[in-house]
Amino acid sequence: MANAVTSPPAVAAPQPVSVAAPTPPATGMPTARSGRTSRRGTRPVWRLVGGRILAALGVLFGVSLLAFVVLDLLPGSAAQQLAGADATAEQVARLTQALRLERPAHERYIEWFVGVLRGDLGVSLASGQSVRVILAERLPVTIELVALSFALALGTAVPVALLAARESGGLFDRLSAVICLAGLATARYVLAILLVLLFAVELRLLPAIGYIPLGTGIAGNLRTLALPVATLALPLFALYARFLRADLLEQLRGEEYIVTAIAKGLGPWRVLLRHALPNSLLGLSTLVGLHVGTLFGGTLVVERIFALPGLGQLLLQAVTLRDTVVVQASVLVLAAATVLGNLAVDLLYTLLDPRLRHD
Amino acid sequence: MTDPVTSAERAPSLRVNAIRLPVIVLAVISGSCLLAPLLPMLPAPIDGNVLAANQPWCAPGHPLGTDGNGNDVLSRLLHGGRSSLGIAVTVNLLGLTLGGLLGAIAARAGGMIDAVLMRAIDVLIALPSLVLAVAIAAALGPGHGTTITALTTFSVPAFARVARVATLRLEACPFITAAVLSGTNGMRLLLCHVAPNLLPHLGTFALLGMGVVILIEGALGFLGLGVPPPAPSWGNLIAHGQETLAARPALVLLPSTLLFVTVLCCNVLGEALRVRWSTG
């Protein structure tokens, strides 16, 4: 739930896999975690990293299993969808044979799973194309979209948060607070429609739909991606700017190293940029990691509205066609993005904050 | 190090009436949506007369005009809100109850049970919420029940995590130790000692979650996987209005504004209550 993270991590934020989680209080009943860490004392970094990676692989396995079960247990099959509404039972049966769907579910899953381990993602039930080829076509679009959105959101949120924190309670701070609240309450699809209405219909500056690949020309590519990227970036910008501002103020008002820096006679900007910001950015990186998956999810809507040939569109089509193989692969890719995002944050934390290594 | 209270208290300019104002606005919106079927002069939201299509504002009997199918716009807005808000409330109540119980049980039990439950929750959270909702909704076919199922699937794990962390914190409190020492059995401890103390956390989380669920429900409706037309919901009203965007922007702007205001109020209220309750 994206908005949950607006609240500071101490109470409500869903934690990443748990390095960043506050350690449960020492008194009271011993929990599994505190027991484990106290027994071992110092944990070598590689052990921690290995554990994280194993956990991530486990989660991915669970996700693929879940996706398979959900699609398999539910009524309707790819054969029925492909044969059409007025197909005879015989036609459906023949198609089921041809697609080899008549075998028991666990056999199909195991076959698929072994394939994935060998790097073979299977063949689309609907088009007969290799899933790897399809993904290679679709994934770059979505990755470019997501990367640009993150860049835009962070690139704007950091300066805005700095300016707001520099003079908290000032005009700029109030203004940005209002914009952030509005950004958090705006639905992506509404924002997309409004942007199209303004920039494509009224001002005729940018194309409303369509996509020009990066290879064809960078200017055209950026023009087609401008509105989708803005749509994805605004809510993120709001979240990041709010979080970073609160965190910066936290550092400025509570931390002793800031008092030291001020006492040394450093200027306010220098304290903010060189002392408070690096520490606050560490907190922000948790949010960014958590949002990798959310943002990939957001592409579902945005790609549909702007007719971008990315992973989101692929998934929507495949879900409708009950093309399990393609759905499996896309869901796996999306989940992998989320898990990798969390993993990256966990590892980054461990690298940057030595305290966590010697918990 | 991080003190949730001070950081949020400093949120500028919005402290005044941050509780009263959103409550009033939410009450007006949900009240009129809830009472919509009882209003005598309000036409039905569906089965309009095509001959009366596309009437402008203030047309006789239709204060906000009619849409392309001759349905009253105001009526569709209010009935749409009924289903959108109804779904959001149901999903959050389900999430709060089931997720809260799961989280508290995981934290109290510890060991294997905790590990297994939390790994299952990791799996659910690893799926982007909209992807999961789309997969479930597409598989079950569009409808109220489907939307609720799809959205509950990701709200339960989110609540469970919050409940687990909050329960772990409670474990340290003397009154829990006292209850354990006085021989209170597990179930009673969970329901009578832990649960009441979790409610403020989960309640505020639910308010913040309301906003998220309304937005995602709208997205499902927008993708054609939510409440099936002709029945209205804010999401499918926006999607439908998008087809005639250039000619009649109001058909998109009206439901969008209601959606925006509702989510905004839920967020502001949730934030304000969180600050208030954590100050104790």
CATH of the domain at B200: 1.10.3720.10
Give chain B positions within 8 Å (CB) of A174: 12-13
Helix (H) or strand (E) holding B214: helix B195-222
Give the minimum alpha-carbon distance from A252 to chain B in angstroms, rounded to a whole number.
11
Is residue B111 in a domain? yes
Give chain A positions within 8 Å (CB) of B111: 32
Asked if A8 and B211 come within 8 Å (Cβ–Cβ), the reply is: no
Give the minimum alpha-carbon distance from A59 to chain B in angstroms, rounded to a whole number.
5
Give chain B positions within 8 Å (CB) of A142: none
Q: Is B61 on the interface with A (CB under 8 A)?
A: no
A217 token code pair: 């020309």
Is residue B230 in a domain? yes
Is residue B12 in a domain? no
> Which among B106, B268, B101 is positioned nearest to B199, based on CA atoms?
B101
Task: Provide Rg for chain A, Cα atoms.
Answer: 24
Q: Which of A24-33, A45-54, B4-13, B95-104 reaches the highest mean pLDDT? A: B95-104
Segment B76-101 shows an average pLDDT of 91
CB neighbour list of residue A246: distance below 8 Å, 6 or more residues apart: A8, B7, B8, B10, B11
Is residue B64 in a domain? no
Distance CA B117, CA B103 (A): 8
CB neighbour list of residue A55: distance below 8 Å, 6 or more residues apart: A17, B119, B122
Q: Where are the alpha helices (DSSP H) in chain A?
A: 32-40, 45-73, 78-83, 89-98, 105-117, 131-166, 171-185, 188-195, 218-254, 256-263, 268-270, 277-306, 311-321, 324-352, 354-357
Q: In total, how many domains does chain B have?
A: 1
Give the minimum alpha-carbon distance from B63 to chain A in angstroms, rounded to a whole number.
24
Q: What is the pTM of this model?
A: 0.78
Give chain B positions within 8 Å (CB) of A67: 127, 135
Give chain B positions within 8 Å (CB) of A253: 6
Q: Is B189 on the interface with A (CB under 8 A)?
A: no
Give chain B positions within 8 Å (CB) of A304: 223
Chain B contacts in chain A segment 117-156 (CB below 8 A): none
Is residue B43 in a domain? no
Would you write out chain A's pLDDT as a tens digit for each of its 359 residues? 333 333 333 333 333 333 333 433 333 344 444 444 444 445 567 777 788 788 888 888 888 888 788 777 666 666 776 766 677 777 777 777 777 777 777 888 888 888 888 877 778 877 778 888 888 888 888 999 999 999 999 999 999 999 998 888 888 988 998 899 898 888 888 898 888 888 888 888 888 777 888 778 788 888 888 899 999 999 899 989 988 998 888 888 878 888 888 888 888 888 888 888 888 888 788 788 777 877 887 888 899 888 889 888 888 888 777 777 888 888 888 888 888 888 888 777 777 766 666 54
Is residue B187 in a domain? yes
Asked if B176 and A28 come within 8 Å (Cβ–Cβ), the reply is: yes
ipTM associated with this complex: 0.78
Give the minimum alpha-carbon distance from B206 to chain A in angstroms, rounded to a whole number.
9
Chain A contacts in chain B segment 118-157 (CB below 8 A): 119-120, 122-131, 134-136, 138-140, 154-155
Give chain A positions within 8 Å (CB) of B6: 250, 253-254
Give the minimum alpha-carbon distance from B140 to chain A in angstroms, rounded to a whole number.
7
Domains detected in chain A = 143-309 (1.10.3720.10)
Note down the domain range covering B155: 69-279
Q: Is A249 on the interface with B (CB under 8 A)?
A: yes
- Cα→Cα distances A178→A158, B14, B78, B264, Å: 17, 8, 27, 11
Distance CA B186, CA B164 (A): 16
Is residue B14 in a domain? no
Q: What is the pLDDT of residue A358?
A: 57
Is residue B269 in a domain? yes
Distance CA A101, CA A344 (A): 38
Asked if B13 and A201 come within 8 Å (Cβ–Cβ), the reply is: no
